[in-house]
Amino acid sequence: MGRKAVLIAFWIIGFIFGEAAWALKTPVLQTIENLGIGAETSQALLAGLFGSAVMVLAVLAWSFLSSTS
């Protein structure tokens, strides 16, 4: 797979996960805050969770698509 296609795929995956995070942020943040964690900390946790999920899935997709079997 070409470099441009991989970068576009990473961008699309990141966009989809960003939209999912935005759509789910209110109930997830309320759940985290109910556990006793502050609002700013819960927002940082949510951003980190979705950011790391995007990167892991993007690298996994890239590794499977670029493997030579």
Instruction: Check residues 67 and 26 and name the one with the higher pLDDT.
Output: 26
- The single residue listed with the structure tokens 């993007």 is 58
**Does 30 reside within a domain?**
yes
Domain extent, residue 51, equals 25-64
**Does 32 reside within a domain?**
yes
Report the 10 Å Cβ neighbour count for 54: 19
pLDDT (tens digit per residue) in 42-66? 888 888 888 888 788 878 877 887 7
**Does 49 reside within a domain?**
yes
Does residue 32 contact residue 42 with C-beta atoms inside 8 Å? yes
User: Which parts of the chain are beta strand (E)?
Assistant: none
What is the distance between the alpha carbons of residues 1 and 8, in angstroms, rounded to a whole number?
A: 11
Report the 10 Å Cβ neighbour count for 33: 14
**Does 3 reside within a domain?**
no
**Does 15 reside within a domain?**
no
**Tally of domains within the chain:** 1
Does residue 61 contact residue 13 with C-beta atoms inside 8 Å? yes
